[in-house]
């Protein structure tokens, strides 16, 4: 899977965890906060280095992962 342009995964940054480009902010943290109900406005205020496009890239990344997910169901 190709990462969205605003997301990077480098071994030397956060042990390779996908982060917002140019930061050490892991994508999963932002996704957890969005899932818990925090708004884009709340997150942009809490993380001044972020832009709305970064948060949309997180959602794009999550959607791509979900699209690749194989779900096993009980028979």
Alpha-carbon distances, residue 54 vs 32, 49, 61, 73 (angstroms): 15, 10, 10, 34
Bridge partners of residue 19, in order along the sequence: 8, 26
- DSSP states of the chain: -PPPTTEE--TTSGGG--EETTS--BHHHHHHHHHTT--HHHHHHH-TT--HHHHHHHHHHHHHHHHH-------
Tens-digit pLDDT profile for residues 13-66: 999 999 999 999 999 999 999 999 999 999 999 999 999 999 999 999 999 998
- Decide yes or no: CATH 3.40.50.300 for domain 7-65: no
Task: Assign 75 a pLDDT band (cuts: 50, 70, 90).
Answer: low
Domain map of the chain by residue range?
A: 7-65
Q: Give the pLDDT confidence score for residue 73 in this predicted structure.
A: 73
């Amino acid at each position: 899977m190709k990462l969205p342009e605003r997301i990077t995964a480098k071994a030397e940054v956060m042990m390779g965890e996908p982060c917002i480009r140019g930061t050490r902010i892991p994508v999963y943290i932002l996704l957890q906060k969005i899932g818990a109900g925090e708004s884009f406005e709340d997150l942009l205020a809490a993380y001044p280095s972020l832009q709305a496009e970064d948060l949309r890239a997180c959602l794009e990344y999550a959607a791509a992962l979900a699209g690749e997910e194989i779900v096993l169901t009980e028979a």
